[in-house]
Structure 1
Amino acid sequence: MEEKYIPNKVPLYDRIKNIVLSVAMAIFGTMGLIENDLAVSVCRRCEEIYHFSGISAVIMYIALMIMCVSFVSEVIDHYDKRNNEHVYHRISNWTLLPSLGLFILAFYVQFSNT
């Protein structure tokens, strides 16, 4: 006997949080890239802000956009009622690690020349 499929549900708070974070990161990253000064704070309590310009700003921007894809995939998963949660989990996993790698690469590119 086949089990009945129950679609994945993502709480409303998490959906709103992911959309707001994605939109904010996209706007913030685009503005920083246009101005050629992408400012990033590594933690909430850190007062130090790192400024990226040139190629390191582009790398950081790509990292932010990939992270946006990860956040949005979780929201799309909630509304997709088909039995394919594994696809969205794969998207999330495949995007977060490269995003982190690009984040570190941007720091290396920016601060290796100084």
Structure 2
Amino acid sequence: MKKAHVPNRIAKRDRVILILSATLLFAYGTFCWISNHFFLPIQFNRGGPVGGIHLYGDAVWFMYGAVVCACLIMGSIVVDHYDERPNERHYTRFAKIMMYAGFSLFFLSVFAWLKASA
């Protein structure tokens, strides 16, 4: 006997956090892309970021691509909540592809930063 399909459900609070996070990340990434300066904080203390990486040029383009991939993943999670068809595997595959693409672009941006600072 085939089990009935139960679509994914995500709490409203989680959907709001995902949409807000994706919007803010996209806005920051777009601002950095336009200004050609992306600050990536990597060291924190209680007062906020202490140190980080300043990306310029090609590194900004790669990092912006990684930001877009992250925003697409967050958006797909919310869209999957509203899609009641039995196609969760497509959303999972999309998220996995975007994750690999995003990490690849992230590492490309770090390598471009290393090349420019050498």
TM-score by length of 2: 0.88
After superposition, the CA RMSD in angstroms is: 1.5
Gaps of 5+ in 1: none
Gaps of 5+ in 2: none
Q: Shift in Å at residue 14 of structure 1?
A: 2.0
Q: 1:2 aligns to what?
A: 2
Which structure's residues are more often strand, by fraction? Answer: 2
Of 43-52 and 71-80, deviating more is 43-52
User: What does 1:55-74 correspond to in 2, within 5 Å?
Assistant: 55-74=58-77
Q: 1:91 aligns to what?
A: 94
Q: Is the Cα–Cα contact under 8 Å of residues 18 and 74 in structure 2 kept in the other structure?
A: yes
User: What does 1:36-55 correspond to in 2, within 5 Å?
Assistant: 36-42=36-42, 45=45, 47-55=50-58
Q: 1:23 aligns to what?
A: 23
Q: What is the alpha-carbon distance in structure 2 between the residues aligned to residue 85 and residue 63 of structure 1?
A: 23
Q: 1:76 aligns to what?
A: 79
Look up the equivalent residue of 2:102 and give its one-letter code: S
- Is the partner of 1:81 in helix, strand or coil? coil
- Residue-by-residue CA offset, 1:38-63 (whole Å, 9 max, x unaligned): 11113655521211111110110011
Look up the equivalent residue of 2:3 and give its one-letter code: E
- Is the partner of 2:54 in helix, strand or coil? strand
Question: Quick one: percent identity of the two aligned structures?
Answer: 26
- Is the partner of 1:112 in helix, strand or coil? helix
TM-score by length of 1: 0.91
Q: What is the alpha-carbon distance in structure 1 between the residues aligned to residue 42 and residue 88 of structure 2?
A: 31
- Residue-by-residue CA offset, 1:90-109 (whole Å, 9 max, x unaligned): 11111112101111110110
Choose from 103, 109, 113 the match for 1:110. 113
